[in-house]
């Protein structure tokens, strides 16, 4: 029974992690860039939802949609203005995102202060399936996460820009030979990636507290999910996200939580060494 | 060659200029600097702000009257606050700055136990009086004549409260989540003893990383042991709020208690009124006391944010410090001030009548003995159910 | 061929002997000043020196073409290693320190051996994971390491009975260590070994074809760099008198890399410039910490955009401009 509850917990949390990570892997797949500011966009998404809902009293879902749109636009702009000269330079591009992360986190600290803020719950109560309990707030997020991921899938598979992005992930050279303009797909890829981070943050804001320090955990989880699943592979991220959630949940049953964390990082290192491409990754190492 | 020499000299000049920008740190005759070495970021920020603001209100009141008058001279009280981020390393650097650069002789803080262990050697060596929160028993002792604690700790309050709670709610098995650090571990041990003494059993103890926000796996493990109550003492206010929220979301209908560390306003803020209904909490605040109510109103008017229950302790602590300085007739001889401070009896503060205690546990009476209560949270507010002393609650 | 040499020379500012001596002399003058300014400034100066020492190690690893985001873990090995060995085996601080350096070298050898076949961002990610793993291990194995509470009351460093227990004395010790690390870096950079490192960093395939082993050279650089980090840790523990896992978290690793990049990669003086700027500025501009960090972030972005050689590369740029025109 405990195992069953732990399994459900693990899958739910795994979906949350996947949702946090998918933007990260998209950015790496399209631009070969490790975006250290990924977590900060998640954090800003949460603040955006907070401000729009409690400050402007907009309905929650409206706030989420606005956050998504704003993040895509801002992300695209940032890419164009700041990251453009470093498009071919993986390492330095990554370091620039570190600088960006510093600016974003401390900017949020300046504006909102260090005290964690609490967002009013969107939905309360629990869902019970047999003896298994799932908080409704998490079900809510999971449902939307699945919807957004489905939309993402449709976009990547069937729309023109989506297919262009996928082509870039498959092979950069071939994509550019095909004449897909860099000035479009770079900002688009980055904007979409950080937009996904921001919308994850917005949806999850009512689950926990909203704080300028919230960005570290999504970044770490994204790292882990994406390394395990393969940098640039979205199906890989799906598998890895769920696996991570399950591993954490089961390990948490039998070990102290700190031991569980250690095991996960060990697995990550082993994975990077033995299978750097991850379970389903693409691109060269 | 020439350009390089020029750039070298230029660079050197820049760096020297930057260094000379450091203020010399001499305190003006008329300003009395009091340092505040507290946590202003992360989960402990609610407490840090409470400490800083409490001292600040005391300073403002004294300044409004023209300044602190000691031995015929009037001093403007200035609170210099720095963030230690709850990290021992940072605390050491900040304390060094306060002691050697800002040259303070009085310090509000440390807040956390780990920072306290790291910085008390520095403050004691420099005879800096500390008014602190740190829960660790290592913070007080005859070898630390300048260290004072104005918050009562689990060691003082838990037994009488737990006796009362176990009896009134008929508890058998209790579970507790604690942060995996000095404070958390000390509190977990104390509580285990206290519950056993009261006839119940702290069967589940989970230690977690301080920054953790998802407690569902830990709670799941705990519920599997069939507990009828959750103990929240030892957790920062926002963390406690998250635990309550998630526990209720998972369908836990048992008692939730917090036998130490006032945090009700923040917990209700995070978890909501419904989840916190019926919680039993420790509180040093009795709004029935006029002095307490006056302080709470003053805090609300000045800072417009929920006041953490620890704040009046530091308001009172700062005022006791001022009184000690007046009696000692000096602001610079901290040996004399310490002596006067520890000899204050029946001090009339926001929390009521205050005295020092602690000789039995720590070897020295530097622990403030404040009245405390067990309250039930009803519709988001505390309703006092029992009045307590170190012996019992009723 | 001479073009290539000239190009390499421009990037290697400060590598002429006169450059080294001028720089060391300047540092010495700068170093004398904090000693006169009181305990707090001296405290900051000591922290600066420890950072220079540690970032020099990072610089050597970077020279061979890899950026380590796990550097703080090796500082931790030095700090915890030396303290624990002194405590459990009753060794003198120096003996404990030496053993800790050897321990760090062994760990670097094993770890590097395994991860150095990864390149670029993959190496970054794996060192990042390693740093976090180390911190979690230090927290978890509380029986050995004291867990989250760390180890307190660490006695001062001693060398043949002479105790460095006052601030000025320790400052002298740490200055010697810094000078040593700078001279070591200089010798390595100047040496054919340093040229080999750089060749490997700039074009691995080309270097392999000339008979250099990328793997072995990077491993060597990694071991040396990590040992310098450990040395910094050994000294730091004895100075602060306290170690805890929080002092070795990911932010520290990222901070070290920031110091290197802002100071200047590929330059002998980069680590020193970066450490001085990033350690002292928070103390100079006391308060408004967030604004400072925003400036660091912007500085990082601007430097990578306009000044890839970091601050230390500025004089070289000026000089280069003069030459070219």
The tens digit of pLDDT for each residue in B265-278 reads 888 888 888 889 98
User: pLDDT value at position A285?
Assistant: 43
Please give the residue that has the higher pLDDT: either A32 or A195.
A195
* Segment among A171-180, B135-144, C91-100 with least mean pLDDT: A171-180
Q: Which residues of B touch C272 (CB under 8 A)?
A: none
> Are the beta carbons of A92 and C304 separated by less than 8 Å?
yes
CB-nearest to B12 from C26, C150, C153 is C26
Please indicate, yes or no, if residue C212 is contained in any of the structural domains.
Answer: yes
CA distance C267 to chain B (A): 14
C-alpha to C-alpha distances, A268 to A172, A262, A271, B265, nearest whole angstrom = 27, 10, 5, 41
Instruction: Please give the span between the terminal C-alpha atoms of chain B, in angstroms, as a whole number.
Output: 85
Optimal mutation site among C116, C136, C204, interface A, most CBs of chain A within 10 A:
C136
Chains with 3+ CB–CB pairs under 8 A to B are A, C
> Are the beta carbons of C290 and A107 separated by less than 8 Å?
yes
CA distance C165 to chain A (A): 36
CB-nearest to B209 from A208, A248, A258 is A258
Q: Which residues contact B28 (CB under 8 A, 6 or more apart)?
A: none
For chain A, which residues make up each domain, given as ranges? 15-214
User: pLDDT value at position C267?
Assistant: 86
Q: Which residues pair with B224 in a beta bridge?
A: none
Q: Give the span between the Cα atoms of B84 and B48, in whole angstroms.
A: 9
The tens digit of pLDDT for each residue in C287-315 reads 666 788 888 889 888 888 888 888 887 87
Pure H helices in chain B: 2-20, 45-64, 88-96, 113-125, 154-169, 182-198, 216-223, 237-249, 264-271, 273-276, 290-303, 311-328, 334-342, 359-362
Among C12, C1, C27, which Cα is nearest to C188's?
C12
A262 touches chain B (CB under 8 A): no
SS3 B98: helix
CA distance C18 to chain A (A): 31
Please indicate, yes or no, if residue C214 is contained in any of the structural domains.
Answer: yes
User: pLDDT value at position A175?
Assistant: 63
Among B187, B117, B199, which Cα is nearest to B152's?
B187
Domain B5-152+291-357 is found in CATH 3.40.50.2300 = yes
Mean pLDDT of A4-15: 89
Query: Does B6 have pLDDT greater than 60?
Result: no
What letter does residue B149 receive in the DSSP assignment? Answer: E
**How many domains, chain C?**
1
* Segment among B7-11, B147-151, C227-231 with least mean pLDDT: B7-11
Q: Which residues of A touch B222 (CB under 8 A)?
A: none
Q: Give the span between the Cα atoms of B75 and B265, in whole angstroms.
A: 35
Q: Give the span between the Cα atoms of A238 and A219, in whole angstroms.
A: 16
> Are the beta carbons of A90 and C294 separated by less than 8 Å?
no
SS3 B142: coil
Among C258, C268, C277, C244, which Cα is nearest to C47's?
C277
Please give the residue that has the higher pLDDT: either C53 or A28.
C53
Among C154, C185, C146, C156, which Cα is nearest to C55's?
C185
User: pLDDT value at position C30?
Assistant: 75
What pTM was estimated for this model as a whole? 0.84
Q: Which residues of C touch B189 (CB under 8 A)?
A: none
- Nearest residue in C to B2, CA atom: C319
DSSP states of B201-253 as a string? EEEEEEEE-TT----HHHHHHHHTT--SEEE-TTS-HHHHHHHHHHHHHTT--
Q: Give the span between the Cα atoms of C268 and B12, in whole angstroms.
A: 17
The tens digit of pLDDT for each residue in B64-80 reads 988 888 888 889 999 99
The pLDDT mean for chain A works out to 85
Q: Give the span between the Cα atoms of A4 and A246, in whole angstroms.
A: 11
> Are the beta carbons of B213 and A2 separated by less than 8 Å?
no
Q: Which residues of B touch A13 (CB under 8 A)?
A: 214, 216-217
The tens digit of pLDDT for each residue in A69-97 reads 999 999 999 998 888 887 777 888 888 99
Mean pLDDT of B304-308: 79
- Nearest residue in A to B41, CA atom: A114
Torsions phi, psi for A230 (to 5 deg)? 110, 120
- Nearest residue in C to A102, CA atom: C297
Torsions phi, psi for A185 (to 5 deg)? -80, -20
CB-nearest to C67 from A91, A105, A223 is A91
Please indicate, yes or no, if residue C305 is contained in any of the structural domains.
Answer: no
Residue with tokens 């939307």: A144
CATH superfamily of B154-283+373-388: Response regulator (3.40.50.2300)
Q: Which residues pair with B373 in a beta bridge?
A: B283, B387
Please give the residue that has the higher pLDDT: either B223 or C5.
B223
The tens digit of pLDDT for each residue in B344-384 reads 999 998 888 889 988 888 888 899 988 888 999 998 888 88
DSSP states of C19-49 as a string? HHHHHHHHHHHHHHHHHTS-HHHHHHHHHHH
Optimal mutation site among B86, B179, B216, interface A, most CBs of chain A within 10 A:
B216
> Are the beta carbons of A217 and B242 separated by less than 8 Å?
no
Q: Which residues of A touch C121 (CB under 8 A)?
A: 32, 34, 90-91, 94
> Are the beta carbons of B217 and A258 separated by less than 8 Å?
no
Please indicate, yes or no, if residue C279 is contained in any of the structural domains.
Answer: no
CA distance B48 to chain A (A): 10
Among B133, B114, B91, which Cα is nearest to B310's?
B133
How is the beta sheet containing B372-378 ordered, strand by strand? B201-208, B173-179, B229-231, B255-258, B280-283, B372-378, B381-388
> Are the beta carbons of A223 and C304 separated by less than 8 Å?
no
> Are the beta carbons of A262 and C136 separated by less than 8 Å?
yes
Distance of CA C258 to the CA centre of its chain: 11
Quickly state the pLDDT bin for B328 (edges 50, 70, 90): very high
Q: Which residues contact C89 (CB under 8 A, 6 or more apart)?
A: C96
For chain B, which residues make up each domain, given as ranges? 5-152+291-357, 154-283+373-388
Pure H helices in A159-275: 160-170, 172-177, 182-204, 216-229, 234-254, 257-274
Question: How many residues appear in chain B?
Answer: 394
pLDDT tens digits in sequence order for chain C, 325 residues long: 444 444 444 444 445 666 777 777 777 777 777 777 777 788 888 889 999 999 999 999 999 989 999 999 999 999 999 999 988 888 888 889 999 999 999 999 999 998 888 888 889 989 999 999 999 899 888 788 887 777 877 888 877 777 777 788 888 889 889 989 999 998 888 888 888 898 888 888 888 888 888 899 999 999 999 999 999 999 999 888 888 888 888 888 999 999 999 998 888 889 999 999 888 877 776 666 678 888 888 988 888 888 888 888 787 777 765 444 3
Is residue C101 within 8 Å of C234, Cβ to Cβ? yes
> Are the beta carbons of B100 and C40 separated by less than 8 Å?
yes
C-alpha to C-alpha distances, A284 to A170, A280, C118, C209, nearest whole angstrom = 10, 12, 11, 21
Checking phi first, is residue A151 left (phi over 0); if not, alpha (psi -120 to 50) or beta?
Answer: alpha
Please indicate, yes or no, if residue C236 is contained in any of the structural domains.
Answer: yes
Domain that holds residue C29: 9-249
Query: Does B296 have pLDDT greater than 70?
Result: yes
Please indicate, yes or no, if residue C324 is contained in any of the structural domains.
Answer: no
Optimal mutation site among C125, C257, C259, interface A, most CBs of chain A within 10 A:
C125
* Segment among A124-128, B258-262, B334-338, C195-199 with least mean pLDDT: A124-128
Please give the residue that has the higher pLDDT: either B244 or C308.
B244
> Are the beta carbons of B25 and C289 separated by less than 8 Å?
no
CA distance B236 to chain A (A): 11
What letter does residue C243 receive in the DSSP assignment? Answer: B
Q: Give the span between the Cα atoms of B32 and B14, in whole angstroms.
A: 33
CB-nearest to B242 from A136, A209, A257 is A209
The tens digit of pLDDT for each residue in A106-152 reads 999 888 877 788 888 888 778 888 878 888 888 888 999 999 989 98
Torsions phi, psi for B275 (to 5 deg)? -65, -30
CA distance B248 to chain C (A): 29
Q: Which helix (H) or strand (E) is B355 found in, with range?
A: strand B352-357
CB-nearest to A126 from B45, B207, B249 is B249
Which of A 42-81 lie inside 8 A of C, CB atoms? none
- Nearest residue in B to A252, CA atom: B217
C139 touches chain A (CB under 8 A): yes
Both structure tokens of A258: 């700190």
C-alpha to C-alpha distances, A36 to A220, B28, B106, C106, nearest whole angstrom = 10, 46, 41, 30
Question: How many residues appear in chain A?
Answer: 285
Q: Give the span between the Cα atoms of C2 and C94, in whole angstroms.
A: 47
What letter does residue C311 receive in the DSSP assignment? Answer: G
Both structure tokens of B337: 């001030």
Is residue B377 within 8 Å of B268, Cβ to Cβ? yes
Q: Which helix (H) or strand (E) is A70 found in, with range?
A: helix A60-78
Q: Which residues of C touch B181 (CB under 8 A)?
A: 147-149
Kindly provide the ipTM of the predicted complex, given to two decimals.
0.85
């Amino acid at each position: 029974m405990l195992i069953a509850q732990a399994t459900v917990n693990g899958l739910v949390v795994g979906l949350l992690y996947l949702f946090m990570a998918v933007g990260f892997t998209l950015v790496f797949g399209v631009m070969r860039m490790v975006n250290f500011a990924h977590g900060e966009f998640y954090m800003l998404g949460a603040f955006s939802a907070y401000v729009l809902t409690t400050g402007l009293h907009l309905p929650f879902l409206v706030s989420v949609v606005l956050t998504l749109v704003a993040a895509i636009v801002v992300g695209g702009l940032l890419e164009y203005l700041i990251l453009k000269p470093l498009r071919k330079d993986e390492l330095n591009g990554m370091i620039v995102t570190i600088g960006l992360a510093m600016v974003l986190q401390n900017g949020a600290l300046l504006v909102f202060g260090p005290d964690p803020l609490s967002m009013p719950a969107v939905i309360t109560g629990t869902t019970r399936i047999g003896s298994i309990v799932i908080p409704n707030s998490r079900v809510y997020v999971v449902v939307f996460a699945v919807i957004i991921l489905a939309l993402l899938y449709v976009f990547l598979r069937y729309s023109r820009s989506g297919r262009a992005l996928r082509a870039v992930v498959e092979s950069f050279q071939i994509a550019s030979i095909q004449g897909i303009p860099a000035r479009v797909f770079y900002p688009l890829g980055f904007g979409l990636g950080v937009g996904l981070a921001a919308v994850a943050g917005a949806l999850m804001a009512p689950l926990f507290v909203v704080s300028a320090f919230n960005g570290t955990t999504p970044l770490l989880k994204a790292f882990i999910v994406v390394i395990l699943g393969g940098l640039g592979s979205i199906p890989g991220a799906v598998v890895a996200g769920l696996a991570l959630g399950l591993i954490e949940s089961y390990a948490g049953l039998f070990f102290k939580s700190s031991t569980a964390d250690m095991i996960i990082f060990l697995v990550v290192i082993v994975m990077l060494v033995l299978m750097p491409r991850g379970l389903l990754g693409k691109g060269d190492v | 060659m020439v350009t390089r020499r020029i750039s070298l000299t230029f660079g050197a000049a820049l760096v020297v200029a930057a260094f000379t920008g450091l203020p010399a740190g001499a305190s003006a005759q008329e300003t009395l600097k009091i340092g505040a070495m507290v946590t202003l970021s992360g989960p402990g920020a609610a407490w840090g702000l409470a400490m800083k603001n409490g001292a600040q209100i005391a300073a403002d009141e004294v300044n409004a009257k023209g300044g602190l008058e000691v031995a015929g001279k009037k001093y403007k009280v200035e609170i210099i606050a720095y963030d230690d981020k709850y990290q021992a390393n940072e605390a050491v650097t900040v304390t060094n700055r306060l002691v050697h650069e800002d040259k303070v002789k009085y310090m509000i803080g440390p807040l956390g136990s780990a920072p306290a262990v790291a910085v008390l050697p520095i403050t004691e060596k420099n005879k800096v009086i500390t008014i602190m929160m740190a829960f660790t028993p290592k913070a007080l002792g005859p070898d630390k004549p300048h260290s004072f604690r104005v918050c009562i700790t689990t060691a003082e309050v838990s037994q009488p409260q737990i006796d009362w709670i176990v009896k009134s709610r008929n508890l058998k098995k209790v579970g507790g989540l604690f942060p995996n650090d000095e404070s958390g571990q000390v509190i977990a041990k104390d509580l285990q003893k206290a519950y056993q003494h009261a006839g119940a059993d702290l069967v589940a103890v989970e230690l977690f990383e301080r920054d953790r926000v998802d407690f569902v796996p830990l709670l799941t493990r705990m519920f599997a042991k069939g507990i009828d109550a959750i103990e929240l003492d030892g957790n920062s206010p926002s963390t406690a709020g998250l635990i309550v929220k998630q526990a209720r979301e998972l369908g836990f209908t048992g008692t939730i208690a917090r036998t130490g560390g006032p945090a009700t306003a923040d917990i209700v803020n995070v978890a909501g009124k419904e989840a916190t209904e019926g919680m039993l909490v420790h509180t040093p605040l009795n709004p029935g006391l006029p002095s307490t109510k006056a302080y709470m109103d003053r805090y609300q008017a000045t800072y417009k944010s929920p006041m953490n229950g620890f704040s009046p302790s530091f308001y009172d602590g700062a005022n006791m410090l001022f009184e000690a300085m007046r009696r000692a007739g000096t602001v610079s001889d901290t040996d004399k001030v310490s002596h006067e401070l520890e000899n204050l009896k029946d001090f009339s503060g926001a929390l009521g009548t205050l005295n020092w205690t602690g000789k039995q546990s720590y070897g020295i009476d530097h622990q403030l003995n404040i009245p405390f209560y067990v309250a039930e949270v009803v519709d988001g507010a505390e309703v006092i159910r029992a009045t307590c002393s170190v012996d019992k609650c009723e | 061929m001479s073009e290539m040499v000239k190009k390499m020379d421009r990037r290697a500012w400060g590598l002429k002997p006169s450059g080294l001596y001028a720089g060391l002399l300047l540092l010495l003058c700068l170093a004398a000043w904090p000693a006169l300014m009181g305990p707090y400034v001296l405290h900051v100066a000591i922290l600066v020196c420890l950072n220079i020492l540690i970032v020099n190690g990072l610089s050597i690893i970077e020279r061979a073409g890899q950026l380590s985001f796990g550097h703080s873990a090796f500082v931790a090995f030095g700090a915890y290693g030396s303290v624990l060995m002194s405590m459990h085996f009753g060794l003198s601080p120096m003996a404990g320190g030496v053993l800790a350096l050897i321990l760090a070298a062994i760990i670097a050898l094993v770890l590097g051996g395994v991860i150095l076949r990864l390149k670029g961002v993959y190496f970054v990610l794996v060192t990042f994971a390693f740093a976090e793993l180390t911190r979690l291990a230090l927290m978890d194995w509380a029986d050995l390491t004291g867990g989250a509470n760390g180890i307190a009351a660490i006695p001062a460093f001693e060398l043949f009975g002479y105790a460095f227990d006052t601030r000025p004395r320790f400052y002298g010790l740490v200055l010697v260590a810094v000078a040593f690390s700078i001279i070591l870096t200089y010798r390595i950079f100047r040496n054919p070994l340093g040229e080999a490192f750089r060749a490997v960093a700039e074009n691995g395939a080309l270097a392999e074809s000339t008979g250099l082993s990328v793997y072995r050279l990077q491993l060597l650089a990694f071991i040396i760099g990590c040992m310098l980090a450990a040395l910094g840790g050994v000294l730091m523990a004895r100075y602060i008198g306290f170690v805890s896992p929080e002092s070795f978290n990911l932010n520290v690793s990222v901070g070290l890399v920031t110091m290197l990049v802002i100071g200047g990669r590929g330059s002998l003086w980069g680590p020193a410039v970066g450490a001085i700027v990033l350690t002292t500025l928070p103390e100079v501009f006391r308060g408004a910490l967030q604004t400072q960090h925003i400036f660091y972030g912007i500085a990082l972005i601007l430097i990578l955009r306009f000044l890839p050689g970091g601050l230390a590369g500025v004089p070289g740029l000026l000089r280069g401009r003069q030459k070219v025109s």
